[in-house]
Structure 1
Amino acid sequence: MNVNTEETLLITPVDNYDAIINDIKDDNITSVSELKHLTISTLPLVLSFLLQYVFSITSVYAAGRLGAKELAACSLAICTFNITGLAIFQGMATSLDTFCSQAYGSGNKKMVGVYFQRGSLLMFVVSIPLFFLWWFSGAILNLMVPDEELATMAQTFLRIHIIGVPGLIFFESGKRFLQAQHIFQASTYTLIIALPINLVLNWLLVWNPSTGMGYEGIPLAIGISYWIISILMLGYVLFIDGIECWGGIEWEKATSNWKPMLSLGIPGVVMVISDFLAFEILTIFASRFGTEALAAQSIVSNIATLCFQVPFAFAVAISTRIGHFIGNGNISGAKVINDLTVVIGGTIGVLSFCLMYFGRHVLTEFFTDDQEVLSIASHLLFLAGINQISDCLNVVGTGVLRGQGRQRIGSILNIISYYFLAIPLGYFLAFHAGFEMSGLWIGLIIGVMCLAVTQCTSICFSNWEKIVEHSHRIHDSV
Structure 2
Amino acid sequence: MGKKKSTKNVAAPAPVPAASEVTPLLKVPSPVAQHEERGIEMQEKNPLVKPIIPEVNPSVTHVDDVIPIRQELWELSSMAVQLSLRQMVRQAMTITDSAFQGHIGTKQLAGVALAAMWMGVPSTFIQFSIQAINTLCSQAYGAGNNKLVGIWLQTAIVFAVLGSIPVIIWYFCVGHLISITMEDQETVKYGSQFAMVMALGLIPQYIYGACSTYFAAQGIIMPATFCSALTMVLNVVLNRFYIYGAFGWKGMGFIGSPLATVTSTCLQLFFFLMYTVVLKGYHKPYWGGWSRECLNKERVKVFLSLAIPMGASSVVDWASATVAGAFSGFLGPNIAASQSVLGGVFGVANSAVSGFSTSTQIRMSRYLGKGNAGAAKRVLFLGASIVFAGAIIMLCAVLTLRNHIFQIWSNDPVIIGMCTDVLLVFVICILVAFVRFLLTAVMNALSLAHINLWANNFASWIIYVPFSYLLPITWGWGLDGFWWADTYGEMFKALILLWGVSRVDWDIAAKRAQAAAEADDDAAENDAEEEKKRLLAYENEALVGRTPESYRTPSAMTPSTPYHTPSARRRARSSARSVTYTPDLAKARSKTPNPRSQA
TM over 0.5: yes
Distance 2:317 2:272 in 1: 28
Listed as ranges, the matches of 1:345-384 within 5 Å are: 346-365=384-403, 366-367=405-406, 373-384=419-430
Listed as ranges, the matches of 1:313-324 within 5 Å are: 313=355
> How far does the alpha carbon of each residue in 1:411-437 deviate from its partner, in whole angstroms, 9 at most, with x for none?
555323422344446767776798945
Alignment partner of 1:62 is 2:100: yes
In 2 relative to 1, CA 47–242 (structure 1 residues): closer, same or farther, beyond 3 Å?
farther
Deviation, structure 1 residue 88 = 2.0
Q: Which has the higher helix share?
A: 1
Listed as ranges, the matches of 1:15-414 within 5 Å are: 29-30=64-65, 32=67, 39-85=77-123, 87-208=124-245, 209-210=248-249, 212-238=251-277, 239-240=279-280, 242-243=282-283, 246-256=286-296, 257-281=299-323, 283=325, 297-310=339-352, 312-313=354-355, 331-332=369-370, 342-343=380-381, 346-365=384-403, 366-367=405-406, 373-395=419-441, 411=453, 414=456
> How far does the alpha carbon of each residue in 1:119-167 deviate from its partner, in whole angstroms, 9 at most, with x for none?
2322222211111111233333322322334333322322222221111
- What's the C-alpha RMSD, in Å, of the aligned pairs? 4.3
Distance 2:461 2:292 in 1: 40
Distance 1:150 1:291 in 2: 7
Q: Which residue identity lines up with residue 184 of structure 1 in the other structure?
A: I
Which of residues 428, 452, 462 is equivalent to 1:420?
A: 462
In 2 relative to 1, CA 333–34 (structure 1 residues): closer, same or farther, beyond 3 Å?
farther
In 2 relative to 1, CA 272–383 (structure 1 residues): closer, same or farther, beyond 3 Å?
same
In 2 relative to 1, CA 266–130 (structure 1 residues): closer, same or farther, beyond 3 Å?
same
Q: Which residue identity lines up with residue 105 of structure 2 in the other structure?
A: G
Q: Which residue identity lines up with residue 169 of structure 1 in the other structure?
A: Y
The DSSP-based 3-state class of the residue aligned with 2:251 is: coil
Q: Which residue identity lines up with residue 163 of structure 2 in the other structure?
A: V
The DSSP-based 3-state class of the residue aligned with 1:146 is: coil
5+ residue gaps, structure 2, are 1-61, 408-412, 521-566, 580-599
Distance 2:114 2:335 in 1: 19
Aligned length: 443
> How far does the alpha carbon of each residue in 1:304-350 deviate from its partner, in whole angstroms, 9 at most, with x for none?
22232246546777899999x9xxxx953999997687456534532
Deviation, structure 1 residue 375 = 4.1
Deviation, structure 1 residue 231 = 1.7
Listed as ranges, the matches of 1:433-452 within 5 Å are: 436=481, 439-450=484-495, 452=497
Q: Which residue identity lines up with residue 265 of structure 1 in the other structure?
A: A
Partner residue, 1:4: none
Which of residues 458, 475, 478 is equivalent to 2:576?
A: 475
Distance 1:101 1:198 in 2: 32
5+ residue gaps, structure 1, are 1-26
Q: Which residue identity lines up with residue 447 of structure 1 in the other structure?
A: F
Distance 1:344 1:472 in 2: 31
> How far does the alpha carbon of each residue in 1:434-478 deviate from its partner, in whole angstroms, 9 at most, with x for none?
894564144122233156348868995657247587555433333
The DSSP-based 3-state class of the residue aligned with 1:258 is: helix
Distance 1:383 1:469 in 2: 35
> How far does the alpha carbon of each residue in 1:348-380 deviate from its partner, in whole angstroms, 9 at most, with x for none?
532344235544521433316756642421342
Distance 1:173 1:348 in 2: 33
Distance 1:389 1:195 in 2: 30
Q: Which residue identity lines up with residue 84 of structure 1 in the other structure?
A: P
Distance 1:396 1:231 in 2: 38
- Contact kept, 8 Å, 1:119 with 1:173, in 2: the verdict is yes
- Contact kept, 8 Å, 2:302 with 2:576, in 1: the verdict is no
Q: Which has the higher contact order (CA 8 A, sep 6+)?
A: 1
| Structure exhibiting the larger radius of gyration computed from Cα positions | 2
- Contact kept, 8 Å, 2:134 with 2:213, in 1: the verdict is yes
Distance 2:108 2:481 in 1: 30
